[in-house]
Amino acid sequence: MNTTFTATSVAVLLFLAVWFGMRIRRILPEHHLSADSKDTVKLAMGLIATAAALLLGLLVSSAKSSYDTTRSEVFQLAAKIAFLDRVLAIYGPESTELRKELRAVHEEGVRQMWSRQTGGFAGMTANTSAANAAYAHIQSLSPKDDFQRSLKAQAASIAVEVAQLHTLLVVQSVPSVSKPLLIVLVSWLVVIFISFSLVAAPNATATFSLAVAALCVSGAIFLILELDQPLGGLIQISSEPLRNAISEVAK
């Protein structure tokens, strides 16, 4: 989902809603704009505005939760990659080629996850064969004593955890914000802004206030959509922790 296009579209819709409401105000009979009528409209819109605020909060919570979860998984992945390399380094010089192989696998995995051109599942598929070969290489190690056997088992376990985290990050690249919820929210906002422009005073100050409110709401939706794609966009999670961990592999 293109966040900039979506947020801009929402802003345009809300501006049109304000314009439409003002046009309707001009043709309505005067008794429809009485104080009692305005109070009724305000009460009705208060109810819809409350529901819209709750739905907006739900979307913010969902997007922020997804962002924080992904960020935590990135740190976990970086830590496990670094620890796996330490285990293999302790294993001995027999693991030197394997460590170089794992470094190449991890570098390619990071490049694919943070690539704008590569889709999440496409990136996972492209990196699977190399990761499988690296895991098979771990299993093919020939321990000479109990200490190396223990390190081999630990390395295999960590490698599985690394693969699970990487797969989880790729799968979670699918947006978590529900499109139907977003459509319902925008629909409610359009109704709210039409009603606000109906009861607002027909002057520049009121029009400017409604325009600013429309921009603020559009900005909130933009931030929600940006948080919902944590590995891309303007506020993406940095790949620096992973790149720092990988830079130490096989040194």
Residues of the chain predicted below pLDDT 70: 1, 31, 33, 116-127
Yes or no: say if 199 and 175 are a contact pair by the CB < 8 Å rule.
no
Angle in degrees, CA 183, 27, 215, rounded to 5:
35
The answer to whether residue 30 sits within a structural domain is no
The answer to whether residue 34 sits within a structural domain is no
**Would you state the structure tokens that stand for residue 246, as one six-digit string?**
């990988």
The answer to whether residue 243 sits within a structural domain is yes
The answer to whether residue 195 sits within a structural domain is yes
pLDDT at res. 190: 93
pLDDT at res. 120: 42
pLDDT at res. 218: 93
Range of the domain at 86: 3-19+39-247
The pLDDT tens digits for 72-131 are 999 999 999 999 999 999 998 998 899 999 998 888 888 888 875 444 444 445 567 788
Looking at the structure of the chain, the number of domains it has is 1
d(CA 195, CA 235): 34
The answer to whether residue 25 sits within a structural domain is no
Tokens 């192989």 correspond to 101
d(CA 249, CA 100): 7
Distances (CA, A) of 71 to 131, 194, 228, 230, 240: 22, 39, 12, 8, 12
d(CA 131, CA 45): 56
pLDDT at res. 108: 86
Yes or no: say if 7 and 221 are a contact pair by the CB < 8 Å rule.
yes
pLDDT at res. 113: 82
Q: Which amino acid is at 149?
A: R
The answer to whether residue 24 sits within a structural domain is no
| Cβ-based burial of 129 (10 A; exposed 0-12, middle 13-18, buried ≥19) | exposed
The answer to whether residue 227 sits within a structural domain is yes
**Report field, pTM of the whole predicted structure over 0.75:** yes
Distances (CA, A) of 161 to 125, 129, 194: 18, 17, 53
* Residues whose CB falls within 8 Å of the CB of residue 119, separated by 6 or more in sequence, listed in order: none
**Would you state the structure tokens that stand for residue 149, as one six-digit string?**
């056997």
The answer to whether residue 241 sits within a structural domain is yes
